[in-house]
Amino acid sequence: MRLGYLTHVTGPAGPAAVYRDTVAAAVAAEDHGFDTFWVAQHHADETRGLLPSPLVLLAAAATATSRIHLGTGVVAAPLEDPMRLAEDAAVVDALSGGRLELGVGAGADAAASAAFGRDPADRHDDTVALVDTLRTILRGPRLVPAAPGIADRLWWATGSTVAVDAAAARGMGLITGRPADVPGSPVAADLARYWSRAVGAPRVAVSRIVSAGEPAADVVARLRRDPALGWATELVVQTRPGGAGLATHVATMRAVAEFVAPALRARPTDHRPAPTATAWRRP
Protein backbone atom coordinates (compact mmCIF):
# COMPACT_ATOMS: atom_id res chain seq x y z
CA MET A 1 0.00 0.00 0.00
CA ARG A 2 1.34 3.39 -0.99
CA LEU A 3 1.41 6.33 1.39
CA GLY A 4 0.41 9.78 0.16
CA TYR A 5 -0.02 13.30 1.51
CA LEU A 6 -2.64 15.83 0.36
CA THR A 7 -2.70 19.58 0.89
CA HIS A 8 -5.40 22.08 -0.04
CA VAL A 9 -2.70 24.75 -0.48
CA THR A 10 -4.11 27.36 1.86
CA GLY A 11 -3.02 29.50 4.77
CA PRO A 12 -2.96 33.06 6.08
CA ALA A 13 0.34 34.10 4.51
CA GLY A 14 -1.07 34.63 1.00
CA PRO A 15 -0.59 32.78 -2.30
CA ALA A 16 3.11 33.42 -2.97
CA ALA A 17 4.25 32.20 0.46
CA VAL A 18 1.80 29.29 0.46
CA TYR A 19 2.98 28.13 -2.97
CA ARG A 20 6.60 28.18 -1.84
CA ASP A 21 5.68 26.32 1.33
CA THR A 22 3.82 23.72 -0.71
CA VAL A 23 6.90 22.99 -2.78
CA ALA A 24 8.83 22.67 0.50
CA ALA A 25 6.12 20.33 1.76
CA ALA A 26 6.58 18.12 -1.29
CA VAL A 27 10.29 17.91 -0.51
CA ALA A 28 9.50 17.06 3.11
CA ALA A 29 7.05 14.34 2.06
CA GLU A 30 9.73 12.80 -0.13
CA ASP A 31 12.26 13.01 2.71
CA HIS A 32 9.82 11.23 5.05
CA GLY A 33 9.31 8.33 2.66
CA PHE A 34 5.89 9.19 1.24
CA ASP A 35 5.15 7.71 -2.16
CA THR A 36 2.86 10.49 -3.41
CA PHE A 37 2.17 14.18 -2.81
CA TRP A 38 -1.19 15.60 -3.90
CA VAL A 39 -2.46 19.17 -4.28
CA ALA A 40 -6.11 20.20 -4.49
CA GLN A 41 -7.48 22.66 -7.01
CA HIS A 42 -9.77 25.46 -5.86
CA HIS A 43 -11.16 28.25 -8.02
CA ALA A 44 -11.96 31.56 -6.29
CA ASP A 45 -12.36 29.94 -2.87
CA GLU A 46 -9.65 31.28 -0.58
CA THR A 47 -11.28 29.73 2.49
CA ARG A 48 -10.69 26.23 1.09
CA GLY A 49 -7.63 26.66 -1.08
CA LEU A 50 -5.49 29.12 -3.03
CA LEU A 51 -4.48 26.99 -6.01
CA PRO A 52 -6.46 27.31 -9.26
CA SER A 53 -3.65 25.84 -11.43
CA PRO A 54 -2.26 22.72 -9.77
CA LEU A 55 -0.12 21.56 -12.68
CA VAL A 56 1.83 24.82 -12.63
CA LEU A 57 2.71 24.29 -8.97
CA LEU A 58 3.51 20.62 -9.51
CA ALA A 59 5.98 21.63 -12.22
CA ALA A 60 7.85 23.59 -9.57
CA ALA A 61 7.63 20.66 -7.15
CA ALA A 62 8.97 18.35 -9.86
CA THR A 63 12.20 20.33 -10.09
CA ALA A 64 12.66 20.21 -6.30
CA THR A 65 12.07 16.45 -5.89
CA SER A 66 13.43 13.32 -7.52
CA ARG A 67 11.39 10.27 -6.46
CA ILE A 68 7.97 11.10 -5.06
CA HIS A 69 4.98 10.99 -7.40
CA LEU A 70 3.07 14.26 -7.74
CA GLY A 71 -0.71 14.27 -8.04
CA THR A 72 -3.67 16.53 -8.68
CA GLY A 73 -6.25 15.80 -6.03
CA VAL A 74 -8.17 16.86 -8.05
CA VAL A 75 -8.70 18.94 -11.19
CA ALA A 76 -12.35 19.99 -11.69
CA ALA A 77 -12.91 18.25 -15.02
CA PRO A 78 -16.04 20.15 -16.21
CA LEU A 79 -14.06 23.40 -16.20
CA GLU A 80 -11.14 22.12 -18.27
CA ASP A 81 -10.34 21.94 -21.98
CA PRO A 82 -9.13 18.35 -22.53
CA MET A 83 -6.38 19.22 -24.99
CA ARG A 84 -5.03 22.00 -22.77
CA LEU A 85 -5.13 19.67 -19.75
CA ALA A 86 -3.36 16.91 -21.68
CA GLU A 87 -0.62 19.25 -22.88
CA ASP A 88 -0.03 20.74 -19.44
CA ALA A 89 0.02 17.28 -17.88
CA ALA A 90 2.49 16.06 -20.50
CA VAL A 91 4.90 18.88 -19.69
CA VAL A 92 4.79 18.14 -15.95
CA ASP A 93 5.19 14.42 -16.58
CA ALA A 94 8.22 14.97 -18.78
CA LEU A 95 9.74 17.43 -16.31
CA SER A 96 9.23 15.02 -13.41
CA GLY A 97 10.51 11.95 -15.23
CA GLY A 98 7.14 10.19 -15.38
CA ARG A 99 5.96 10.95 -11.83
CA LEU A 100 2.63 12.69 -12.50
CA GLU A 101 -0.59 11.20 -11.09
CA LEU A 102 -3.48 13.01 -12.82
CA GLY A 103 -6.64 13.05 -10.71
CA VAL A 104 -9.89 14.55 -11.96
CA GLY A 105 -13.37 14.90 -10.51
CA ALA A 106 -16.72 16.57 -11.10
CA GLY A 107 -16.17 19.35 -8.56
CA ALA A 108 -18.83 20.77 -6.29
CA ASP A 109 -18.23 24.54 -6.37
CA ALA A 110 -21.25 26.19 -7.98
CA ALA A 111 -19.52 29.59 -7.91
CA ALA A 112 -16.60 28.21 -9.91
CA SER A 113 -18.98 26.68 -12.44
CA ALA A 114 -20.71 30.04 -12.82
CA ALA A 115 -17.38 31.82 -13.26
CA PHE A 116 -16.56 29.46 -16.13
CA GLY A 117 -20.03 29.75 -17.63
CA ARG A 118 -20.92 26.14 -16.90
CA ASP A 119 -24.08 24.67 -15.40
CA PRO A 120 -23.19 22.73 -12.22
CA ALA A 121 -26.14 20.43 -12.88
CA ASP A 122 -24.22 19.09 -15.90
CA ARG A 123 -20.97 18.46 -14.05
CA HIS A 124 -21.21 14.66 -13.94
CA ASP A 125 -21.96 14.32 -17.67
CA ASP A 126 -19.26 16.90 -18.41
CA THR A 127 -16.77 14.88 -16.36
CA VAL A 128 -17.47 11.71 -18.33
CA ALA A 129 -17.01 13.63 -21.59
CA LEU A 130 -13.74 15.17 -20.40
CA VAL A 131 -12.40 11.84 -19.17
CA ASP A 132 -13.16 10.04 -22.42
CA THR A 133 -11.69 12.79 -24.59
CA LEU A 134 -8.61 13.07 -22.36
CA ARG A 135 -7.99 9.32 -22.53
CA THR A 136 -8.30 9.40 -26.32
CA ILE A 137 -5.81 12.26 -26.56
CA LEU A 138 -3.29 10.61 -24.25
CA ARG A 139 -3.58 7.16 -25.83
CA GLY A 140 -3.89 8.28 -29.43
CA PRO A 141 -1.38 9.61 -31.98
CA ARG A 142 1.32 11.88 -30.67
CA LEU A 143 -0.91 14.90 -30.20
CA VAL A 144 0.90 15.77 -26.98
CA PRO A 145 4.64 15.34 -26.42
CA ALA A 146 6.35 12.95 -24.03
CA ALA A 147 3.25 11.60 -22.30
CA PRO A 148 3.22 7.83 -22.92
CA GLY A 149 2.46 6.80 -19.35
CA ILE A 150 -0.02 9.37 -18.05
CA ALA A 151 -3.00 7.43 -19.37
CA ASP A 152 -2.07 4.65 -16.94
CA ARG A 153 -1.88 7.13 -14.06
CA LEU A 154 -5.33 8.69 -14.36
CA TRP A 155 -7.57 8.87 -11.27
CA TRP A 156 -11.25 9.67 -10.79
CA ALA A 157 -12.38 11.19 -7.48
CA THR A 158 -16.06 10.51 -6.92
CA GLY A 159 -18.75 9.74 -4.38
CA SER A 160 -21.17 8.45 -7.02
CA THR A 161 -21.76 4.73 -7.54
CA VAL A 162 -22.33 5.38 -11.25
CA ALA A 163 -18.99 7.17 -11.53
CA VAL A 164 -17.26 4.41 -9.56
CA ASP A 165 -18.44 1.95 -12.21
CA ALA A 166 -17.33 4.35 -14.95
CA ALA A 167 -13.84 4.60 -13.46
CA ALA A 168 -13.60 0.82 -13.19
CA ALA A 169 -14.67 0.33 -16.80
CA ARG A 170 -12.01 2.76 -18.00
CA GLY A 171 -9.18 1.28 -15.95
CA MET A 172 -8.79 4.46 -13.92
CA GLY A 173 -7.74 4.70 -10.31
CA LEU A 174 -10.42 5.67 -7.80
CA ILE A 175 -10.06 8.38 -5.15
CA THR A 176 -12.49 8.56 -2.25
CA GLY A 177 -12.57 10.73 0.84
CA ARG A 178 -16.05 9.77 2.02
CA PRO A 179 -16.42 8.21 5.48
CA ALA A 180 -17.00 4.48 5.39
CA ASP A 181 -17.59 3.86 9.10
CA VAL A 182 -20.99 5.53 9.48
CA PRO A 183 -24.31 3.66 9.35
CA GLY A 184 -25.61 3.28 5.82
CA SER A 185 -22.38 4.37 4.12
CA PRO A 186 -22.11 2.87 0.60
CA VAL A 187 -18.35 3.38 0.41
CA ALA A 188 -17.20 -0.15 1.22
CA ALA A 189 -19.78 -1.65 -1.14
CA ASP A 190 -18.74 0.75 -3.90
CA LEU A 191 -15.09 -0.16 -3.44
CA ALA A 192 -15.92 -3.86 -3.56
CA ARG A 193 -17.80 -3.25 -6.83
CA TYR A 194 -14.85 -1.32 -8.20
CA TRP A 195 -12.48 -4.19 -7.42
CA SER A 196 -14.79 -6.68 -9.12
CA ARG A 197 -15.21 -4.56 -12.26
CA ALA A 198 -11.89 -2.76 -12.71
CA VAL A 199 -10.18 -3.15 -16.07
CA GLY A 200 -6.54 -3.82 -15.31
CA ALA A 201 -4.99 -3.55 -11.85
CA PRO A 202 -7.36 -1.81 -9.39
CA ARG A 203 -6.05 1.38 -7.79
CA VAL A 204 -7.90 2.86 -4.82
CA ALA A 205 -6.68 5.92 -2.92
CA VAL A 206 -8.51 6.53 0.36
CA SER A 207 -8.09 10.05 1.74
CA ARG A 208 -8.28 10.53 5.50
CA ILE A 209 -7.76 13.52 7.79
CA VAL A 210 -5.29 13.57 10.68
CA SER A 211 -5.85 16.40 13.15
CA ALA A 212 -2.76 18.31 14.20
CA GLY A 213 -1.58 16.97 17.54
CA GLU A 214 -3.81 13.88 17.42
CA PRO A 215 -2.10 11.01 19.26
CA ALA A 216 -0.65 8.46 16.87
CA ALA A 217 -2.32 5.62 18.76
CA ASP A 218 -5.72 7.23 18.19
CA VAL A 219 -5.00 7.64 14.48
CA VAL A 220 -3.95 4.00 14.17
CA ALA A 221 -7.03 2.77 16.03
CA ARG A 222 -9.33 4.87 13.86
CA LEU A 223 -7.73 3.73 10.62
CA ARG A 224 -7.79 0.09 11.66
CA ARG A 225 -11.57 0.39 12.10
CA ASP A 226 -12.00 2.03 8.71
CA PRO A 227 -13.76 -0.38 6.30
CA ALA A 228 -12.55 1.49 3.22
CA LEU A 229 -8.87 0.84 3.96
CA GLY A 230 -9.42 -2.87 3.44
CA TRP A 231 -9.89 -2.04 -0.25
CA ALA A 232 -7.19 0.62 -0.55
CA THR A 233 -3.97 0.45 -2.49
CA GLU A 234 -3.02 3.87 -1.15
CA LEU A 235 -3.73 5.86 2.00
CA VAL A 236 -3.61 9.63 1.47
CA VAL A 237 -3.48 11.69 4.66
CA GLN A 238 -4.16 15.39 5.08
CA THR A 239 -3.78 17.69 8.06
CA ARG A 240 -6.57 19.47 9.87
CA PRO A 241 -6.83 22.43 10.08
CA GLY A 242 -6.38 22.81 6.35
CA GLY A 243 -4.82 26.24 6.75
CA ALA A 244 -2.00 24.91 8.93
CA GLY A 245 1.48 26.19 8.26
CA LEU A 246 4.37 24.25 6.81
CA ALA A 247 5.71 23.21 10.21
CA THR A 248 2.38 21.58 11.10
CA HIS A 249 2.23 19.72 7.79
CA VAL A 250 5.75 18.42 8.31
CA ALA A 251 4.95 17.38 11.88
CA THR A 252 1.98 15.38 10.61
CA MET A 253 4.12 13.74 7.95
CA ARG A 254 6.73 12.79 10.52
CA ALA A 255 4.17 11.28 12.89
CA VAL A 256 2.45 9.31 10.13
CA ALA A 257 5.72 8.04 8.69
CA GLU A 258 7.31 7.12 12.02
CA PHE A 259 4.37 5.81 14.03
CA VAL A 260 1.18 5.35 12.01
CA ALA A 261 2.47 3.63 8.87
CA PRO A 262 4.54 0.98 10.69
CA ALA A 263 1.57 0.13 12.91
CA LEU A 264 -0.62 -0.43 9.85
CA ARG A 265 1.79 -2.64 7.94
CA ALA A 266 0.00 -5.83 8.95
CA ARG A 267 -3.68 -5.22 8.29
CA PRO A 268 -5.89 -8.20 9.17
CA THR A 269 -8.91 -6.47 7.59
CA ASP A 270 -7.52 -6.39 4.05
CA HIS A 271 -10.45 -7.29 1.78
CA ARG A 272 -8.60 -7.21 -1.51
CA PRO A 273 -8.14 -10.43 -3.49
CA ALA A 274 -5.02 -12.27 -2.41
CA PRO A 275 -3.17 -12.14 -5.77
CA THR A 276 -3.06 -8.33 -5.68
CA ALA A 277 -3.04 -7.63 -1.92
CA THR A 278 0.21 -6.14 -0.67
CA ALA A 279 1.56 -5.31 2.74
CA TRP A 280 1.97 -1.74 3.88
CA ARG A 281 5.33 -0.51 2.75
CA ARG A 282 7.63 2.44 3.08
CA PRO A 283 10.48 2.95 0.62
For residue 280, being part of any structural domain is answered with no
In percent, how much of the chain has pLDDT > 70?
91
β-partners of residue 236 are: 4, 207
For residue 109, being part of any structural domain is answered with yes
Q: Which domain holds residue 202?
A: 2-263
Domain count for the chain: 1
For residue 273, being part of any structural domain is answered with no
| Residue 142: predicted pLDDT | 64
For residue 67, being part of any structural domain is answered with yes
For residue 269, being part of any structural domain is answered with no
For residue 278, being part of any structural domain is answered with no
| Residue 145: predicted pLDDT | 63
β-partners of residue 76 are: 105
For residue 117, being part of any structural domain is answered with yes
d(Cα 52, Cα 9) in Å, to the nearest integer?
10
The pTM for the full model equals: 0.93
Start-to-end Cα distance in the chain: 11
| Residue 140: predicted pLDDT | 74
116: CATH? 3.20.20.30
pLDDT band (50, 70, 90) for residue 110:
confident
For residue 255, being part of any structural domain is answered with yes
pLDDT band (50, 70, 90) for residue 275:
very low
**Cβ neighbours of residue 232 under 8 Å, at least 6 residues apart?**
1, 191, 204, 205, 206
β-partners of residue 72 are: 39, 102
